[in-house]
Structure 1
């Protein structure tokens, strides 16, 4: 017992003080993209042609974060003169149309469903469904339970049964084989319930977009309340989204 107490004193508190204090991510992190609307047309066309996800609309000068996997190809092609990725990890939105952007995003807290805040403000239980995901999004959701993030201190927890949950968090492109299981999990979750889509695969099909084996967007199956882009979204992106939308 004494050794445990000694170790605790030596380690100190490792939990982040977010949201009271801002968390700075490493410079190599790619967050919210910004588009230079004044960039030459040939540069915009080159970025659109190079994008593996067809996420860039050169004529409209926009990028679809729902499709984007944040690979940085467009930034390298344009040398940051057309697309530049910032370190801003607060990229979640309440409406799918808001994912198409030039860099500006609405305040998520202002667009959250206020009745959810009243219902779940002090306690939110979520059931995570991996619908054929690669485990990257799942891993960055699981890490929220570690001491640094400590999601439970905000009253938010992941539970084993959808019958004990207030909503579901879906990752993966929703393969044909997982569609039935996903729908049964949704139906088993009591109302009122929320649906959260995490990662580009869930938002748009990701790298598998165009395949007949997957669903191109969870919103084509279920009413999605919160969209969290990324491949995978950083744990801070997930944490910000949950706190802004529900707290």
Structure 2
């Protein structure tokens, strides 16, 4: 016991002070895209041609974050004339349409959604994580939230082993047909009222598997989605910010 106390005193508190204090990410992190509306349509089309997800609208000059993998090719090919990726990790949205961003970024978080969720769940939120055919990147970065640095439990948010103990589902992956019924069964096992979170571009739109006959892709076509967390995978802080602002 004395060794444990001594070790704790030597190491100090490793938990981040976010959200009370801002936090800086590594300079290579790609967050909220900032689009130059004054760039030519030709440059925007060049970006579309190189985009593996076809998530760019060259006429409206928008990017669909629900399909974007944040590969950064659109920034590289146009040398930042069309878009530059900021370090803003606050990407969560309550509506699918809000993931289609232009020069102003995402709108303010919906206050009515936040009030609704807080009324339902108070200061506690239990989630059952379902990997519906993902590559494990989203799952790994979600698991990071349980480390001492993030300490998700201090906010009253936990991931539980059984859907019968959960308030909702945290879904990752493009939802393969083999996982379709398992996901529906898990959803039905969660007591009402319940929430559904689509995390990562795969669950939001199919991601790199968009258009494949082997996946459902769009989670909202299968279950009613309450919160979208874009990314490939979403940064742990993106997930944390979304959970705190929509449920706490």
Deviations 1:171-198 (A, max 9, x none): 0000000000000000000000000000
Question: Normalization by structure 2: what TM-score?
Answer: 0.98
1:18-97 alignment to 2 at 5 Å?
18-97=18-97
Q: Report deviation, 1:113.
A: 4.2
Deviations 1:95-125 (A, max 9, x none): 0011111142122252524221012121100
Instruction: Kindly indicate whether residue 247 of structure 2 is the aligned counterpart of residue 246 of structure 1.
Output: yes
Give the conservation status (yes or no) of the 8 Å contact 2:199–2:230: yes
Quote the Cα distance in structure 2 between the aligned partners of 1:9 and 1:108: 39
> TM-score of the superposition, structure 1-length normalised?
0.98
CA distance in 1, matches of 2:145, 2:127: 13
SS at match of 1:63: strand
Counterpart position of 1:174: 175
The equivalent of 2:8 in structure 1 is 8
2:237 is matched with 236
Deviations 1:209-230 (A, max 9, x none): 1101101210000110000000
Contact 1:196 1:227 in 2 (8 A): yes
Runs of 4+ in 1 over 6 A off after TM superposition: none
Provide the aligned C-alpha RMSD in A: 0.9
Gaps of 5+ in 2: none
Structure 1 spans left out of the alignment, 5+ residues: none
Match of residue 190 from structure 1: 191
Contact 2:173–2:200, Cα closer than 8 Å, also in 1? yes
Q: Are residues 1:164 and 2:169 paired?
A: no
Q: Is the 8 A contact 2:94 2:110 kept in 1?
A: no
| 8 Å CA contact retained: 1:94, 1:111 | no
